[in-house]
Chain A
Amino acid sequence: MDVAKIGVRLAAGVGVAWGAATLTFLAVQITPGDPAYAIVGGPEANPSPEVIAQVRAEYGFDQPLLVQYVRYLGRLAVGDLGTSYRLQSPVTQVLGEQIGGTVQLAGVAALLAAVLAVVVAVFTARRGPVVRGGATSIELFLASSPSFWLGILLLSVFSYALHWLPSVGNADGRALVLPALTLALPIAAVLSQVLRSSLEEVLEQPFITTARARGLSDAAVRVRHGLRHSLIPLATMTGFVVGGLLGGTVIVESLFTRQGLGRTLLAAVNAKDMPVVLGVVLLSAVVYVVVNLVVDLLYPVLDPRLKTVTATEARETVTANEGTETTETEEVSA
């Protein structure tokens, strides 16, 4: 992929972020309730109409919608996500404090999911009914389990019954194990199914027979030829997986009482703390765009057939082809 194409992708990414910002802005507008109440501490605070009017003027809520929208976009453009109504501190600062825990959780979960999926798929593709059927059943069970239920199950076994692992907190690596597993297992199950079906398709191909006819062992065939091909659909899945991870953190962080963006988002939604909600949504959109851009850049590495032919290479190939033509022609006509 050359620079121009990356530029186009980046521009498209900005477009997606803008779309996400606009949609959330509109969603806030149609949500019942006045944000001014949220700012002064919710309806329970029972503020006087004068206070409300003052807040509305201060935050520009009395302005026409279009003006509010343009101002909002203008602030976003300079990286100002606004101030949290509830915490009275800049949203960027709130997100900055919370992002570490979530990155740690999502990163470990993603890695875990990928490793599990690859190992299971490589070992179970095109095996007998017991191995393959067993793996498929477990995957189906995990993929269809709601993560809060799976989390509670893991908690009751490994934390409450066996006391192996802590149940709450961000304290250390041990506290990360159960939340990461809860997040990773359903994703690993889905990935492993995709990976196995593409692996099985590849292992049917004639070039696999060629590789076996060369004397390659079964394991070498699976890993060297099969896996490489299966990584291509896996890369495509990664985009969806990222979405699943971000959504999953909301539940997992609440369940395990971990600090992070997911829990912050939940609290902000409950308190109608719109700047924070908008901030998390925008951040998710940006992460999503960036991950998919990286996947796009990865395709030609995984599948060299997708490499665009540069001018030099093309010329080289053409020259060589001409050479071939001549040679072959000579062989025939000689």
Chain B
Amino acid sequence: MSLVSIENLTVSFGGHEAVSDVSFTIDRGEGVAIVGESGSGKSVTARTLIGLTGDGACVAARRATFDGIDLTRLRERQWRGIRGSRIGFVMQDALVSLDPIRPVGREIDEALRVSTALGRAERDRRVIELLGRVGVPHPELRARQLPSQLSGGLRQRALIASAIAGDPELLIADEPTTALDVTVQAQILDLLDDLKNDGRALLVISHDLAVVSRVAERLLVVRQGRVVEAGDTRAVFAAPQHEYTRALLAAIPAEHARGTRLVPGAGSGWEPTLVGAVGAAPVPWASSGSVDGAATHVGEVGEVVARAEGVSKDFVGPDGVSRTVVDDVSFEVRAGETLGIVGESGSGKTTTGRIVVGLEAPTRGSVWIVGRRDDGEPVQHDWATASRADRRALRRDVQIIYQDPLSSFDPRYTVGRVLAEALTVSGRATRSTGVRVRSIELLEQVGLGAEHLARRPLTLSGGQRQRVAIARALATEPRLILLDEPVSALDVSVQAQVLDLLADVQGATGVAYLFISHDLGVISHVSDRVLVLKDGRVVEQGDIDDVFARPQHAYTQQLLAAIPRIEPAGASAGASAGAPAR
């Protein structure tokens, strides 16, 4: 009999069905994945298994058992006997999923205290053992540290350690690698795979098909609370039956060469859903050369719009020690081209970007921005020496789009007011009728319309917000846009639409992009040239195809090797040349 057996699970919140009619089983030693985009009900399904669906949830199922226990009839007290000791739960993003003011060792200790009868000394010993088990180096030191003192990877390991402290038979991991750098992500996936090989059952929740292909033998693809496709991971990826699965696979930027569209069949407009993907042929998994759409990238590269010369930035830490976060970085960005900046967290990507757009002053070196005066004549200014008036003019030429557009909008402003402010402050439109006409033009350029003028950011979806952010950036008719992780918070299908839109905008306006991302798949898809940063230094830069096809530096090779790809050979970690071997 299966360890977990769910039949016709339905979860609703105040009449709205978040999960409809979902059925699946998990056997001991088996990895099962639930894949879907945000709002698909995948996390709700997972939480239902430990009775933490949330306030106001109405859960119904024909059958929901764990090791023969009927989960639909459990009281709170009985749930506590299952949580932690029989089912371990690893939440997304360990930074917020671990108590920020307790040392990680105490979190693991708490799990031991709840689910075992061990004495204090014995527990202390187990905490160190568990941290060692999940691959945390110097466990004695790490146990005493706060989550904020650990790197993302170590935090995630500590969280996993606290989840397996009660030696549960089932481990549930909700987006276990989403916030992590690509190399760390690969290590966490190996760890999960390893824990599964100990005989535990594993349920992984993810939006990332590539991640799933590494740890799950079987998968369920869910959309709007319903299972649209289920089966053997290898079989599903090799021959996806449902159009939605195919669209998800097609939308992965890492699998597509630059200049191809990620939303097949779509024109320059945008597709509100993935229905437009009907009939698209399954995409071959080869990472290069798969040109399956019309090339839209207008490769006209023009004059230099920004130049960084030997830029460095030092920060003094709380301990009084000065650290160089950006070290002697030089590059040029030309009109109509995209320069990608990649690196792991802490590599100085964001600081470099902030220096280029004049938000941060470099400690050494200079940044030149080539702008246009009001009479159209080009002018070149160094942020450091430009006069106040010149700086204001430069700000128009340089715009920024952030990862989370919501926090970069005033929540009380309507979309119309956001755009009107950008237009009037930059002097691009003055009369109120002109502002309105131009606002609508801008919205149409990003695939929205006049009906969105009166909306407020909170009532827009993530993808629509990012479109408004793009429209706002375009309002000042900039020559350079800094994009700092612009699609990292978006679902893969929405991400595909936004990336397509960015390509269209560049083709139409000739704006230059400085594109910062930790996601090498995205970078390889959008960039003409790339800058690889490590510890603030440029370890490699050049044409994207050269760098990605023939990486010279060991670090670049490492990054590229760690990109999770959907593996045609199956789910076993380390099977492909790209995956890290243990």
The interface stretch among B88-96, B334-342, B512-520 is B88-96
28 contacts between A and B (CB under 8 A): A206-B93, A206-B96, A206-B97, A207-B98, A210-B98, A211-B110, A212-B52, A212-B83, A215-B82, A215-B111, A215-B115, A216-B80, A216-B110, A217-B80, A225-B99, A302-B101, A305-B148, A310-B319, A314-B321, A317-B149, A324-B137, A327-B137, A328-B187, A331-B580, A332-B187, A332-B561, A333-B554, A333-B558
Is A215 touching B101 in the complex (CB atoms < 8 A)? no
Whether B151 is near chain A, meaning CB under 8 Å from some CB there, is yes
CA distance A108 to B333 in the complex (A): 68
0/1 per residue, B24-60, Cβ < 8 Å to A? 0000000000000000000000000010100000000
CA distance A328 to B110 in the complex (A): 28
Is A213 touching B91 in the complex (CB atoms < 8 A)? yes
User: Which of the residues A210, A215, A229 comes within 8 Å of B91, measured between beta carbons?
Assistant: A210
Whether B131 is near chain A, meaning CB under 8 Å from some CB there, is no
Is A209 touching B52 in the complex (CB atoms < 8 A)? yes
0/1 per residue, B541-582, Cβ < 8 Å to A? 000000000000010001001100000000000000000111
Is B582 touching A214 in the complex (CB atoms < 8 A)? no
Q: Interface SS of chain A: helix, strand, loop or mixed?
A: helix
CA distance A62 to B104 in the complex (A): 69
Is B137 touching A207 in the complex (CB atoms < 8 A)? no
Residues in chain A near residue B183, CB distance under 8 A:
328, 332
Instruction: Please give the residue numbers on chain A whose beta carbons come within 8 Å of chain B beta carbons, in ascending order.
Output: 205-207, 209-218, 224-225, 228-229, 302-305, 308-311, 314, 316-317, 320-321, 323-324, 327-329, 331-334
Given contacts A214-B166, A304-B103, A332-B562, 15 further A-B contacts (CB under 8 A): A206-B91, A209-B91, A212-B83, A213-B89, A213-B163, A214-B111, A214-B115, A215-B81, A215-B114, A217-B80, A228-B101, A320-B141, A320-B142, A328-B183, A331-B190
Give A224's nearest chain B residue, CB to CB: B110
Residues in chain B near residue A228, CB distance under 8 A:
101-102
Is B319 touching A323 in the complex (CB atoms < 8 A)? no
A4 to B: closest C-beta gap in Å: 12
Q: Given A206-B93, A215-B114, A323 and B99 touching (CB < 8 A)?
A: no
CA distance A62 to B166 in the complex (A): 82
CA distance A294 to B166 in the complex (A): 41
CA distance A316 to B141 in the complex (A): 9
Is B101 touching A332 in the complex (CB atoms < 8 A)? no
Is A213 touching B52 in the complex (CB atoms < 8 A)? yes
User: Which of the residues B85, B96, B186, B321 comes within 8 Å of A205, measured between beta carbons?
Assistant: B96
Is A334 touching B141 in the complex (CB atoms < 8 A)? no
Residues in chain B near residue A317, CB distance under 8 A:
145, 149
CA distance A309 to B149 in the complex (A): 11
CA distance A331 to B163 in the complex (A): 23
Within 8 A of A (CB), among B175-198: 183-184, 186-187, 190
CA distance A229 to B99 in the complex (A): 9
Residues in chain A near residue B580, CB distance under 8 A:
331-334
B173 to A: closest C-beta gap in Å: 12
Residues in chain B near residue A213, CB distance under 8 A:
50, 52, 83-84, 88-89, 91, 163
Within 8 A of A (CB), among B146-163: 146, 148-149, 151, 153-154, 159, 162-163
Q: Given A210-B162, A213-B91, A303-B101, A320 and B137 touching (CB < 8 A)?
A: yes
A225 to B: closest C-beta gap in Å: 6
Give A306's nearest chain B residue, CB to CB: B101
Residues in chain B near residue A327, CB distance under 8 A:
137
A90 to B: closest C-beta gap in Å: 48
Whether B376 is near chain A, meaning CB under 8 Å from some CB there, is no
Give B182's nearest chain A residue, CB to CB: A332
CA distance A217 to B80 in the complex (A): 7
Is A305 touching B187 in the complex (CB atoms < 8 A)? no
Is A207 touching B114 in the complex (CB atoms < 8 A)? no
Whether B75 is near chain A, meaning CB under 8 Å from some CB there, is no
User: Which of the residues B100, B184, B190 comes within 8 Å of A207, measured between beta carbons?
Assistant: B100
Whether B138 is near chain A, meaning CB under 8 Å from some CB there, is yes
Is B582 touching A311 in the complex (CB atoms < 8 A)? no
A286 to B: closest C-beta gap in Å: 31
CA distance A225 to B101 in the complex (A): 9
Whether B318 is near chain A, meaning CB under 8 Å from some CB there, is yes
- In order of increasing CB-CB distance, the 3 nearest A-B pairs are A215-B84, A213-B89, A215-B83
Is A215 touching B166 in the complex (CB atoms < 8 A)? yes
A204 to B: closest C-beta gap in Å: 10
Residues in chain A near residue B76, CB distance under 8 A:
218
Residues in chain B near residue A314, CB distance under 8 A:
319, 321
B200 to A: closest C-beta gap in Å: 16
A211 to B: closest C-beta gap in Å: 7
A329 to B: closest C-beta gap in Å: 8
Is A305 touching B50 in the complex (CB atoms < 8 A)? no
CA distance A317 to B562 in the complex (A): 26
Residues in chain B near residue A217, CB distance under 8 A:
80
Residues in chain B near residue A215, CB distance under 8 A:
80-85, 111, 114-115, 166
User: Which of the residues A214, A305, A332, A333 comes within 8 Å of B110, measured between beta carbons?
Assistant: A214
Looking at A205, A209, A305, A308, the one whose CB has the most chain B CB atoms below 10 A away is A209
Q: Given A215-B83, A328-B184, A334-B582, A304 and B162 touching (CB < 8 A)?
A: no
CA distance A59 to B261 in the complex (A): 92
User: Which of the residues B85, B146, B561 comes within 8 Å of A304, measured between beta carbons?
Assistant: B146
User: Which of the residues A205, A207, A224, A328 comes within 8 Å of B153, measured between beta carbons?
Assistant: A328
Give A210's nearest chain B residue, CB to CB: B97
Looking at A206, A210, A317, A327, the one whose CB has the most chain B CB atoms below 10 A away is A210
CA distance A323 to B100 in the complex (A): 23
0/1 per residue, B336-352, Cβ < 8 Å to A? 00000000000000000
B514 to A: closest C-beta gap in Å: 28
CA distance A211 to B92 in the complex (A): 14
Residues in chain B near residue A305, CB distance under 8 A:
100-101, 146, 148
CA distance A311 to B57 in the complex (A): 50
CA distance A327 to B141 in the complex (A): 16
B451 to A: closest C-beta gap in Å: 33
CA distance A252 to B334 in the complex (A): 75
Is B187 touching A214 in the complex (CB atoms < 8 A)? no
Residues in chain A near residue B142, CB distance under 8 A:
320
CA distance A265 to B467 in the complex (A): 65
Residues in chain B near residue A211, CB distance under 8 A:
99, 110
User: Which of the residues A214, A229, A309, A334 comes within 8 Å of B319, measured between beta carbons?
Assistant: A309
Residues in chain B near residue A216, CB distance under 8 A:
80, 110, 114
A202 to B: closest C-beta gap in Å: 9
Give B186's nearest chain A residue, CB to CB: A332
Residues in chain B near residue A214, CB distance under 8 A:
83-84, 110-111, 114-115, 162-163, 165-166
Residues in chain A near residue B52, CB distance under 8 A:
209, 212-213
CA distance A228 to B99 in the complex (A): 10
User: Which of the residues B151, B319, B321 comes within 8 Å of A324, measured between beta carbons?
Assistant: B151
CA distance A300 to B148 in the complex (A): 15
CA distance A162 to B222 in the complex (A): 68
Residues in chain A near residue B93, CB distance under 8 A:
206
Looking at A216, A309, A324, A332, the one whose CB has the most chain B CB atoms below 10 A away is A332
B141 to A: closest C-beta gap in Å: 5
Residues in chain B near residue A320, CB distance under 8 A:
137-138, 141-142
A65 to B: closest C-beta gap in Å: 46
CA distance A303 to B76 in the complex (A): 31
A231 to B: closest C-beta gap in Å: 10
CA distance A334 to B183 in the complex (A): 13
CA distance A214 to B186 in the complex (A): 26
Residues in chain B near residue A302, CB distance under 8 A:
101
CA distance A98 to B141 in the complex (A): 53
CA distance A324 to B135 in the complex (A): 10
B187 to A: closest C-beta gap in Å: 6
A312 to B: closest C-beta gap in Å: 10
